Every structure is written in C-alpha cells, then in structure tokens.
C-alpha cells in the first residue's frame, strides 16, 4: 500500500477511455462498479466535449457479486451493440472487476456479435493511464489494421493523439499544415478522429508520424514490423526539434525538407534585447517524458535558460529521461509522488518551474513562477484559442507561455521593491482616494524570519536577514541556500552581512 | 401568523407508483462524500483503502481543493497486497503510523472502504479496532464503506455518520440532535432559530471537532437536515432516539414546516413560533419570488444523484411554480421523505435507480425546460439544446433554511436566464 493524495495518472482504463472517446464508431464496454462513471466528466467538463464518452459501464453492485455479474456484462454488451451499432467494440475490466475475474474478453467472444470485439487486458494494480491508452490503441491497431495498397502520393499517419491530451487538437492541425507544405498528405490521424474503418487503412500510408510516444509507440512498433511503416523518432516541439523532424521526414520520404518559417517568431523574440534577462534563468522541468525532453532543449538552446533539474512521472520514459538528464549534467527525478517533486524543487530553488498542474500549485506555494508544459492539466489548459505546442506556431505559443509568468514575476518584484516608497505602499491606499483612510498595516512577515532562524545549524543574524530581504524574491531562496552552504563549509555558525556578501562573491558567476 | 402557503395537494406522491429500473447508473460512489465531510469535521482524516481509480476519483471531484493540504488520501492497493504476499493489515497499520506521525493534529481517523477493498474482503473494522487500541485516547479510528457497490454519492455521508453513532456516549437527557453535515453558516442559522424558540439543548452530528459533546439516548429526539441519512436514522433508533418526521428545510415552506415539527415536539407556543419566524419567512418569500419569475410555468426533469431530488422538486413546484415531469432519485426512503412526498402534487413520474440510456430517452422525449443532472450528462444535454443545472452544486452550496432560499431558487433560474441571454446562433 502507498499513501497517495495527488496522482499524475489515472488508472489504465481511463487511458482506454481516452482512446475510445477520441475515436468515432467505436464503443467501450467497461465491466465496472457503480461510480466509475466519474471519469465521464473528465471528458465532458475538462475537455468540454459535447457528447458522452462512448462507454457503457456494467454498474454492478454488492448484491450482484457472484454469478450475476457475468450476466450483467453480457446484457450490457448486447444492449450497447444494439443501441449504438458501432463498427467495433472494445471490452475490458476496471480495477474492481479485475478482482472478480469475469473475463470480459472471453464472454464477449462467446456472444457472437457481428462486429470485431477487442479484448483489453489492463493490469490496474501495476500500470497506469498512459499505458492503458498505448495498449488499447495497439490492440485496436493489431486487430483491425491490414496490409493495403499504398497511396499514390506520399502520405503519412499521425499516431498518438487522444482525448484529454495536452494540446493534441491543435498539434494535429499544426502538423497537418506543415506536412502539407512539403507535399505530404495525412492518410489517417489516430486515435483522434479515426473510426475502426480508418484504422483498417492505416497501412496505406508511407510512414507514421509518432506524435506522442506515451500513447502511440506500441502501435507504431507493430506497424513498423507488420506493415513496413517506418516511424519518426523526433517529436517536433521547439524550433530545433521541428527542423530536425522535417529533416527526418525528408530522409524517410526522399523529399526536400521545406518549412515555411515566415511566421516563426521565437528565434527573434528570444534574440531581442528584451530577452537578455532570461539568460541563465534556473528552471526545473517536470511532466511526461516527451514534453520534458522537448522542453529541456527549448529551455537551454532556444531560451538561454539553465536547466537545474528534470524528471518525469511516467516510468515508461524513465530511461530516455535519465540519459537526457546526464547530458544536461543534472539528476533525473523519476517519481509519481508529488511530495518528492516538491522536495526537489525546494532544494534546488529554481527561478522558474515548467511542469504540470501540480507543479503550478507547488510554484504558487513556494512563490516560484510556473508554466504548464504537460498533462495532467485542468480546464484552462484546454483553451478555445489555437495553441499548439508542436511546429512553428507551437514555438511561438511556448515562448509567450513561458515568458509571461516571468514578466509577471518581475512586475511583482518591482511592486515589492517599491512597497516602502512613501507614496506607493499598502498603507498609503489608492492615490486617487487621497489616502485619507489608510491604516498603518506594516506587519512584517514574521513566519519567514522564524523559519530562517531554525534552518540547519547556522543562525541568521537580524541584520543579515534584513539584507537578504532586499534581494529579489525569485533568487532569495538560492542566495539563502548558497550562503548557508558557504557558512557551513567555512565553519561559521552565525551569518552576518559579511558572510552573506562573501558567499555572494564566492558563488559569483 | 398569516399563511401564504398553497394548501397541501389533495393527492401527494406518497403512494404514487415508483418506476424502478436497473442498468447503467451515471452517479458518483460514496467516496465523494469525503470532499465535504472533511471540511465539516475539522480534526478528522479520511483514509480510503482502494485503488488508483479511487484516488483519481477524489482528485477529479475535489478539483483545486486537493492542493490545500486536505485531510483525506488514498492508501492505494498494490499488486503485493492482492497476491497475499504481504499482510494487508500490517501494511495498512504501517501507512496509518506514518500518516499520524506526519499529521499530529488528527483526532479522528476514518478508514473508508472502497470497491476493491470490499471485494477482497479486507477487514477494515478489525483494523479500526486494533488501531484505536494503539492510538487511544488521542486518536479514534472508525471505519465505513464508501464503495460504489454499496453506496451512491451522498450515501457516503450516511455511512460515515452511521459508523459514529454506536461509539457516541449515552445520555438520558432530553435533547435535540440535528443530523447531517451543513455548511457552518447554515448550521449557525438553524441553531439560532431553535434557540430563539427556547430549544437550546441541541447537538449536531457530525460535530465540528472530536471533543464537541455529542451523546445519544432514549430521551433524544433527532431531526434530519438531509434526506439521504437512512442508515444513520436506523442507527440512532437502535440507540433509543426518536425521529421527528418533517419536510426537509428547503425553501420558506420547507424550513417553516421543519421548524414547526420541532416546535410542536418541544411545546413551543404558537405566538413565540410566529415571533421568531415571521421576519425571516417574509425575507425568504421575497427572495424566492425574484427567481420564481423565471421559473414559473417551466418544466423540470431530475436525474438521480443525491436523494435531494424529491424535496427540491417539492420546493420548485410549490414555491417557484414549476412543473415536475420526472423526479429520479438513487434511493427512496419513505420514512424520511414521506412528508415531502405528501406535499409534492401527484403528476411527476417518481423513479428510483437508473438505466441511464432509457432515462435519457424519456428526457429527450419530454423536452423539459430545465434538466437537473450530473456533470457527465450536463454538457452533452446542453449540446442537444436542453438547459441543465448540474446537481453536485446543490450539495456543496449553502441551500438550506430561510436565508438561503433565494440562493437556492437562483441556482435553478440562472441557467434559464443565461440561455435567454446568449444569442450565439448568429455567430455560428
């Protein structure tokens, strides 16, 4: 058992739902107790879908436990077929049904439904949401995709986008446009928007674009083996990665790489003098493996940040992230425990976090600016406006998204610096009201001082503590840590102003 | 006192035929009760013993609240727990030790059963006993089941409160107990009204703190502030307490009838009752009247969710002039809802349980002006052109008693006013 509060990923059957909901003409019969329908609202609320996910739940209850649950499953399966008349069905068990061992696959097989019924084995107590999506799409592809004649023109499949994916909708649009510029048509995009009959003609493409390894890699590997479809290894997030991706596509197809960079603005924005203050900003990266790897390259090579830590929550991507972290000279953090992530962030005291919804909350707590780069995300990260992460426009979107919290951080800092100004402080009140009703509310932040006094074995003297407060808040954590390390190394037990500045000189870059 | 109420209908719904269906239920399980219960019981921690699905459900239902160091969590069963490779009891005790070490402020710990823990028959009652012995007197450990196979949504609160009843100290004192977790502001209003009438030996279950004195005995009478407390009702009767049946305190009429039942029980004189209630009654009527302008003459259809559906249908039909087409409820406790059923005029289909696809067909055929349903159905129905009110809000928002009556009506009128206000067709 493991005590958990926040989970980065849902159970694997939610991954299967993401595939089913992304597709059309497919229905999922899920052997599950009353209550598991909660997952519907992820799709209807967070992603704001205008229809119910194509999932039928058997809704067994305590009184059904015993032989009755098997009949319930069969009835639900039959009714779902008759009501929705899908082209194909997937059947499987949720975590509770896995325990009662009804074998949905075997039962569905004996029913002789006139459409393909694909059984899913999703081990709920070992694996998670991304595995569920990857495995489900792989099983669907394996069952339905057949060798077919290639299209006359060069075409590709877009593989991996699902329902509830972070910016999948717009990534598809962006990639489709970029590939079209090079004369490559999209044969099938799957699972997003594909029907089972579309899956059957996946083999007509000349190659696969693996958009998201987390949710499409197993199917791509199978298609490479069985349908002789090579797949792309570069995920085109960021300027460099997009160029590499197009070069990879060119080498797969024999076409000349062509990118319309007329609307690409990240490189100039990043080069402009206004961005100089971004140099060496210490960032911490966390999310799913794919987005973290892409973000690391953008952060270092395209924004001029210093990557001080990176990690991912999906252990399927542990190996590539460990390797990448080594290249960046940092420790990889592979964990699905947000408390460990919080501890790592606290210890590293970065100036910015690029992470998930969860890291955003950690950032709020620690007063560190944060931008969201990966699922899990909340409703605000399914925006109405066009906002891809991939390709040319994706790079523009990323520049804006990452810089905004920093600019705001700077604004906040300026407000802070001037808060003791005679005409610009909390107590003065709004200027256009004349400030007559102001009440002196000059409470200093006691907790911070109390906290500081007890950190480690060194003691901060009052004057040093006051001096520390004059340092911009977004580097204060780092300064505090460096000074304490410096003091400890020097065998100093009390930190005065001198120690503070000696440490500053010591660590000066 | 001047009476403004419509007279009770000649035929209510108490004996109306109930449509009972089973099939797919589009409802929450009882675990969701934790999300409001933990706000109410300020020194309690709710530890679900379940799967990743349970943790994911709590996270999805709790929304942003999950980041505010909430007092609930899930001990996720792992493969080794299922295969019998490790003693699940020992594992659980170890996790509890760690939890209590990290959160020394916790005084009550609820081990909450889930579908997986019930199916593998993990004995949480025994675990609770053993842990209570070990951590007494500082922490009391209780257990109940919030599993989907046994409980629907608000029934989780019922199971929780019912688990507390056997452990309450005994008293012979003549007293009133209010049962049901209400937002603090609402609870204070209720206690204040009762005190003004001279009823001041009142305790509340659940209490805000473990130390608050709550006892029960043969001279205890209890009033329910929520309809979904069938199990707690039974547990209190087993301790000798007696239920005061009344309509639930929604709207001006419901609140007055609820207070009147208690006034009668405690022999409060009519003049005093009127003196206490006249002003807030008038306020409530005025507030409801505004929203009722939008609601009058409109039809409403309830999908089952929280068991609040019948008293809410009674409020909307009698005080807001709506017409109920179908009132779905996950369970129908006639002993509790009888007084509300009497006031709900004959007509609407009363439905218990659910086959969601069939119910959706009935709803589409009826084309109600307003559909009350869960979040899994709300947007899809809106996309079909129906106006919806999502039901969960009715459990989280303060809606009981006089001062909230206008807000309650407002929750239903707002979606209708919004539909009237938006003119989006031209933009498409």
pLDDT digits (tens, 9 = 90+) for A26-83: 999 999 999 999 999 999 999 999 999 999 999 999 988 877 888 899 999 999 999 9
CA A168: distance to chain centroid?
11
Average pLDDT over residues A94-114: 91
Compute the nearest-CA separation of A205 from chain B (Å): 35
| Nearest by CB: B73 against A4, A40, A364 | A4
Give, in order, the Cα–Cα distances in Å from B234 to each of A32, B31, B111, B247: 30, 21, 21, 18
Report pLDDT for A454.
46
Is A100 an 8 Å CB contact of chain B?
Answer: yes
Whether B30-151 shares its CATH topology with B175-272 is answered: yes
Q: Give CATH for domain A265-410.
A: 3.40.50.1980
What's residue A431's pLDDT?
45
- Which among A327, A320, A263, A262 has a CA at the least distance from the CA of A289? A320
Closest chain A C-alpha to B77 CA, distance in angstroms: 5
Whether A126 has a pLDDT exceeding 50, the answer reads: yes
B115 is in an annotated binding site: yes
Q: Which residues pair with B18 in a beta bridge?
A: B350
Inspect the interface and report whether the beta carbons of B25 and A7 lie closer than 8 Å. Answer: no
CA–CA separation, A74 vs A72, rounded Å? 5
Active-site annotation of A, residues: 274
Q: What would the pLDDT profile of A419-459 be if each residue is shown by its tens digit? A: 665 555 455 544 444 444 444 444 333 444 444 444 557 88
Does the beta-carbon distance from B376 to A50 stay under 8 Å? Answer: no
Chain A contacts of B146, Cβ < 8 Å? Answer: none
Whether A493 and chain B come into contact, CB under 8 Å, resolves to no
Name the residue facing B61 among A38, A65, A358 (closest C-beta).
Answer: A38
Q: Which residue has the tokens 């490189």?
A: A267
| Closest Cα in chain A, distance from residue B155 (Å) | 12
**CA nearest neighbour of A227 among A144, A146, A159:** A146
- Supply the pLDDT for residue B369: 98
Could you give the CA distance from residue A71 to residue A68 in angstroms, rounded to a whole number? 5
CB–CB of A34 and B55 under 8 A?
A: no
CA angle B177, B140, B52 (to 5 degrees): 105
Across the interface, of B27, B70, B92, the residue whose CB is closest to A34 is B27
Of B60, B95, B357, the CB nearest to A1: B95
Hey, are the CB atoms on B75 and A14 less than 8 Å from each other?
no
Q: Which CATH number fits domain B30-151: 3.30.70.2660, 3.30.980.20, 3.40.50.1980, 3.90.550.10?
A: 3.40.50.1980
CA of B329, closest CA in chain A: separation in Å? 15
Q: How far apart are CA A69 and CA A389, in angstroms?
A: 44
Asked if the bond preceding A191 is cis, omega within 30° of 0, the reply is yes
Q: Where are the domains of chain B?
A: 19-24+287-425, 30-151, 175-272
Q: Which residues is A303 bridged to in the sheet?
A: none
Query: B19-24+287-425 in CATH: which number?
Result: 3.40.50.1980
pLDDT of residue A456: 56
Residue B134's Cα: distance from chain center in Å? 33
Q: Taking CB atoms and an 8 Å cutoff, what residues of chain A touch B28?
A: 35, 38
Which of B376, B393, B424 is the best residue to mutate to test the A interface, defined by the most A CB atoms within 10 Å of its own CB?
B376
CATH topology of domain A459-508: Helicase, Ruva Protein; domain 3 (1.10.8)
Inform me whether the pLDDT recorded for A161 exceeds 50. Answer: yes
**Within an 8 Å CB–CB cutoff, is residue A34 touching chain B?**
yes
Contact A285, A299 (CB under 8 A): yes
Tell me how far apart the alpha carbons of residues A415 and A419 are, in angstroms, rounded to a whole number. 6
For the segment A296-303, the average pLDDT, to the nearest whole number, is 98
Q: Which of B47, B53, B364 to probe by mutation at the A interface, max A CB count within 10 Å?
A: B53
Are B31 and B48 spatial neighbours (Cβ–Cβ below 8 Å)?
A: yes
User: In terms of CATH architecture, what is A12-129?
Assistant: 3-Layer(aba) Sandwich (3.40)
Instruction: Give the 3-state secondary structure of residue A497.
Output: helix
Instruction: Output the pLDDT for position B427.
Output: 44
3-class secondary structure, A344? helix
Query: Are A12-129 and A145-253 the same fold in CATH?
Result: yes
Q: Could you tell me the CA-to-CA distances from B222 to A348, B162, B181, B202, B311 in Å, in that order?
A: 56, 14, 14, 9, 19
Q: Residues of A with CB below 8 A from B98's CB?
A: 3
How far is it, in rounded angstroms, from Cα B127 to Cα B123?
A: 7
Peptide bond preceding B137 in cis form (omega within 30 of 0): yes
Mean pLDDT of A219-231: 97
Is A392 within 8 Å of A260 (Cβ atoms)?
yes
The C-alpha atoms of residue B108 and residue B89 are separated, in whole angstroms, by 19
CA-nearest residue of chain A to B94?
A: A1
Please tell me if residue A370 touches chain B, with a CB cutoff of 8 Å. Answer: no
Q: Which listed CATH number (1.10.1760.20, 3.30.70.890, 3.30.230.70, 3.40.50.1980) goes with A145-253?
A: 3.40.50.1980
Segments making up each domain of chain A, as ranges: 12-129, 145-253, 265-410, 459-508
pLDDT tens digits, chain B, 428 residues: what are they? 444 567 888 889 999 999 999 899 999 999 999 999 998 999 999 999 999 999 999 988 877 666 667 899 999 999 888 877 568 888 899 999 999 998 899 999 999 999 999 999 999 999 999 999 999 899 999 999 999 999 999 999 999 999 999 999 999 999 999 999 999 999 999 999 999 999 989 999 999 999 888 999 999 999 999 999 999 999 999 999 999 999 999 999 999 999 999 999 999 999 999 999 999 999 999 999 998 999 999 999 999 999 999 999 999 999 999 999 999 999 999 999 999 999 999 999 999 999 999 999 999 999 999 999 999 999 999 999 999 999 988 998 899 999 999 999 999 999 999 999 998 765 44
- How many interchain CB pairs under 8 A, A with B? 177
Q: What is the DSSP string of B220-286?
A: EEEEESSTT-HHHHHHHHHTT-EE-----S-HHHHHHHHHHHHHHHTT--HHHHHHHHHHHHHHHHH
% of chain A with per-residue pLDDT over 70: 90
pLDDT at A411 over 80: no
Are B29 and A34 an interchain contact pair (Cβ–Cβ within 8 Å)?
A: yes
pLDDT value, residue A435: 40
- Cβ of A125 and B51 within 8 Å? yes
Contact criterion met (CB < 8 Å) for B380 and A7: no
Q: What is the pLDDT of residue B10?
A: 85
The answer, for A361 touching chain B at a CB cutoff of 8 Å, is yes
B73, B119, B383 ranked by CB distance to A99: nearest: B119
The fourth-level CATH superfamily of domain B175-272 is: Nitrogenase molybdenum iron protein domain (3.40.50.1980)
Chain B CB contacts of A61 below 8 Å: 148-150
With CA atoms as reference, the chain B residue closest to A57 would be B24
Which of B28, B78, B118 shows the shortest C-beta gap to A125?
B78
Annotated binding site of A for substrate: 409-410
The answer to whether B149 contacts A6, with C-beta atoms less than 8 Å apart, is no
Distance CA B95, CA A1 (A): 7
Nearest CA in chain B to A56: B24
SS3 of residue B112 by DSSP: strand
């Amino acid at each position: 058992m493991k005590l958990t509060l926040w989970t980065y990923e849902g159970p694997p059957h939610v991954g299967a739902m993401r595939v089913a909901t992304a597709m059309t003409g497919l229905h999922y019969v899920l052997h599950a107790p009353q209550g598991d329908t909660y997952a519907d609202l992820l799709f209807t609320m967070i992603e704001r879908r205008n229809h119910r996910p194509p999932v039928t739940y058997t809704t067994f209850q305590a009184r059904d436990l015993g032989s009755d649950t098997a009949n319930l499953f069969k009835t639900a399966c039959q009714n779902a077929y008759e009501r929705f008349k899908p082209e194909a069905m997937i059947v499987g068990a949720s975590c509770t049904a896995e325990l009662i061992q009804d074998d949905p696959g075997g039962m569905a097989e004996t029913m002789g439904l006139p459409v393909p019924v694909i059984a899913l084995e999703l081990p709920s107590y070992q694996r998670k949401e991304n595995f569920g999506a990857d495995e489900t799409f792989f099983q669907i592809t394996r069952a339905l995709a057949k060798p077919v004649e290639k299209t006359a023109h060069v075409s590709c499949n877009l593989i991996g986008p699902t329902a509830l994916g972070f910016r999948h909708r717009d990534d598809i649009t962006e990639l489709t446009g970029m590939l079209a510029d090079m004369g490559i048509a999209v044969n099938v995009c799957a699972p997003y928007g594909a029907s089972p009959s579309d899956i059957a003609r996946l083999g007509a493409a000349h190659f696969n674009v693996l958009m998201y390894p987390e949710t499409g890699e197993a199917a791509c590997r199978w298609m490479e083996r069985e349908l002789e479809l090579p797949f792309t290894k570069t995920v085109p997030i960021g300027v460099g990665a997009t160029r590499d991706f197009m070069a990879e596509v060119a080498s797969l197809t024999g076409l000349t790489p062509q990118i319309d960079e007329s609307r690409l603005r990240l490189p100039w924005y990043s080069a402009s003098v206004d961005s100089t203050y971004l140099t060496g900003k210490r960032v911490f990266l966390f999310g799913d493996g794919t987005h973290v790897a892409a973000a690391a390259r953008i952060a270092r090579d395209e924004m001029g940040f210093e990557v001080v830590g990176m990690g991912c929550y999906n252990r399927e991507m542990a190996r590539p992230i460990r390797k990448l972290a080594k290249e960046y000279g940092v420790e990889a953090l592979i964990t699905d425990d947000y408390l460990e992530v919080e501890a790592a962030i606290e210890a590293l005291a970065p100036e910015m976090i690029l992470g998930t919804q969860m890291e955003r909350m950690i950032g709020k707590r620690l007063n560190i600016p944060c931008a969201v780069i990966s699922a899990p995300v909340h409703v605000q990260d399914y925006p109405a406006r066009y906002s891809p992460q991939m390709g040319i426009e994706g790079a523009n979107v990323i520049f804006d998204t990452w810089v905004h919290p920093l600019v705001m951080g700077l604004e906040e800092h300026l407000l802070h610096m001037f808060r003791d100004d005679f005409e610009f402080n909390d107590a003065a009140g709004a200027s256009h009201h004349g400030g007559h009703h102001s009440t002196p509310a000059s409470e200093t932040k006691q907790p911070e001082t109390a906290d500081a006094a007890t950190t480690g074995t060194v003691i901060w003297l009052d004057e040093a503590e006051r001096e520390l407060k004059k340092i911009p808040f977004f580097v204060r954590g780092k300064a505090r840590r460096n000074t304490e390390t410096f003091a400890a190394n020097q065998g100093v037990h009390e930190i005065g102003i001198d120690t503070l500045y000696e440490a500053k000189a010591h660590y000066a870059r | 006192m001047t009476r403004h109420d419509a007279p009770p209908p000649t035929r209510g719904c108490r004996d109306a035929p109930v449509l009972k269906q089973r099939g797919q239920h589009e409802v929450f399980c009882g675990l969701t009760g934790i999300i409001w219960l933990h706000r109410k019981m300020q020194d309690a921690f709710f530890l679900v013993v379940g799967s990743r699905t349970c943790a994911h459900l709590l996270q999805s239902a709790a929304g942003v609240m999950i980041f505010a160091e909430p007092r609930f969590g899930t001990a996720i069963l792992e493969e080794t727990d299922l295969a019998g490779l490790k003693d699940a009891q020992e594992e659980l005790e170890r996790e509890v030790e760690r939890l209590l070490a990290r959160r020394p402020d916790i005084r009550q710990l609820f081990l909450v059963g889930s579908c997986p823990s019930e199916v593998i028959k993990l004995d949480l009652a025994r675990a609770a006993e053993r842990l209570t012995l070990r951590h007494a007197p500082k922490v009391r450990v209780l257990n109940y089941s919030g599993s989907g196979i046994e409980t629907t949504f608000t029934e989780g609160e019922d199971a929780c409160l019912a688990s507390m009843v056997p452990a309450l100290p005994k008293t012979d004192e003549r007293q009133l107990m209010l049962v049901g977790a209400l937002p603090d502001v609402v609870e204070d209003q209720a206690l204040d009204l009762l005190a003004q009438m001279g009823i001041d030996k009142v305790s509340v279950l659940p209490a805000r703190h473990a130390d608050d004195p709550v006892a029960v005995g043969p001279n205890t009478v209890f009033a329910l502030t929520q309809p979904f407390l069938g199990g707690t009702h039974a547990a209190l009767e087993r301790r000798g307490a007696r239920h005061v049946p009344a309509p639930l305190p929604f709207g001006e009429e419901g609140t007055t009838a609820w207070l009147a039942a208690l006034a009668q029980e405690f022999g409060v004189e009519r003049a005093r009752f009127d003196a206490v209630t006249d002003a807030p009654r008038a306020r409530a009527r005025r507030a409801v009247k505004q929203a009722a302008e939008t609601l009058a003459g409109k039809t409403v259809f309830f999908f089952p969710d929280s068991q609040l559906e019948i008293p809410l249908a009674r409020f909307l039909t009698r005080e807001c002039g709506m017409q109920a087409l179908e009132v779905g409820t996950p369970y129908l406790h006639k002993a509790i809802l009888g007084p509300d059923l009497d006031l709900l005029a004959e007509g609407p289909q009363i439905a218990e349980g659910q086959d969601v696809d069939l119910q959706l067909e009935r709803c589409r055929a009826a084309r109600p002006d307003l559909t009350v349903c869960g979040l899994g159905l709300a947007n899809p129905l809106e996309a079909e052109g129906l106006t919806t009110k999502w039901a969960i809000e009715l459990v989280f928002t303060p809606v009981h008693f006089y001062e909230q009556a206008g807000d309650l009506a407002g929750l239903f009128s707002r979606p209708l006013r919004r539909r009237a206000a938006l003119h989006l067709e031209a933009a498409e």
